[in-house]
Structure 1
Amino acid sequence: MMTHTYQLTGMTCSGCENKVKNNLLILPDVTSVEVSKENNSATIGMDKHVGLAALQKALGGNDSKYQITETAHYEVQDETRSWVQTYKPILLIFGYVTAISLMFAWQNNTLNAMVFMRVFMAGFFLVFSFFKMLNLKAFAESYAMYDIVAKKFSAWGYVYAFIELGLGLGFAFNLSPVILNWVTLVVMTVSILGVLESVINKKKIQCACLGAVFNLPMSTVTIVEDAIMIAMSAAMLIVM
């Protein structure tokens, strides 16, 4: 693996950073991208060398406000992060949410599966919506890179974050469980389609599940995350 450092101008906000990162990650042979608007820099990991012209084209061509120029090269052999390091934020969230759900669901020395799923889904949606709300614009731009609805309807990213918030509050207060589970089943099924398409086609796109806070790659972890919500909502509907 090789890592190249470039000067990259034109970024003025975190939304710009997110857009530039996603545009570069789509390129074949690009494995990682780190950008900084403060330093006007981009550090790009590659399996094979990608020319400067290809990088500029991915950013919108020579007329784009984002201009990339070469500054320094260096190769890195053992800088790839482990799977656990890469997905540590999601693993920690799932661990905490699972622990809290088990605490609430353990009643009379038995595990109440319905309570466990309801509390888990409440925690899942509230935590994930929180990270999206930290930078709603950046999340919406990142989400539009792969979601089948957001690609055609750019405002869907904003709507989706509030839907997650509403679902989280609804599950927390146990409001209209049948309606909540149907909404979850439909929304998460639609969401997983874009994820599946990106993973199957091996697109190197940043996952927007935790907004623009963490640089998490799209992978089977994202599929599992959505699939759990789909399975839980379906199971609760069947039991009801």
Structure 2
Amino acid sequence: LAVEALEKIGVPEISIDLTMPTLVPAVADEMGLDGAAYEQLRAALDRKDASAVTAIGGKIAETMGLLLEYAGAVGNVIDKLEKMKLPPRARKECDRLLEVASMIRDVSPELSLTIDPVENRGFEYHSGVSFSIFSRSERSELGWGGRYLAGDGGRGKEGGEPATGFTLFLDSVLRVVPEAVKPRRVFLAFDTSRENNDRLREEGWVVIQGLEMIKDVFAEARRMNCDHAYVDGELKAVD
């Protein structure tokens, strides 16, 4: 829905980056990493700092290092993520992410689609597959969204109602949409037929029709800020 809306207003070269905010917490929980050690890991992942992840040591550093590495275009990383050994709950979370990626690829094969398994910034309250929206014409995100549990002011993680939504950042969107084309306006004399009125509107004209007979159609067209007048069955430019 978000991509469709952006495409309709002319946003070029849209790409979607998928993530699963619950994946890293599931790995950490099942491998017994919590407290300050987890916060250290989370900070390293947010910085995309592979050396800091390695410095944590142990099996979890190896696992998180691979998740950090396996980010990129869906076609390049999906097989690696499918074959990766993960604890049971984390494996389930990862499989959900890959399932959604495959579904999107099947429905919109032309869409640029990437996966970042460890991304979490901005998705702290999300409870499932989430996404960021980009355009190659803009450095900042155009929007983001995903699955969450509604309630507790948007912070609910348990007991809330499952929901999915997205937010578009209009300041970023407006920087990439094409400049709006000024609508063409045509003035029609009072006695112009309904058929011609309808036809011109269907062709995309903004139609202004007079409410009374007038002598100078072009003068009235100029007064009504029209760039054309419909005279004797023809569209004529207003000087």
TM bin, normalised by shorter chain, reads under 0.3
Give TM-score scaled by structure 2 length: 0.24
More helix by share: 1
TM-score (norm 1): 0.24
Higher Rg: 2
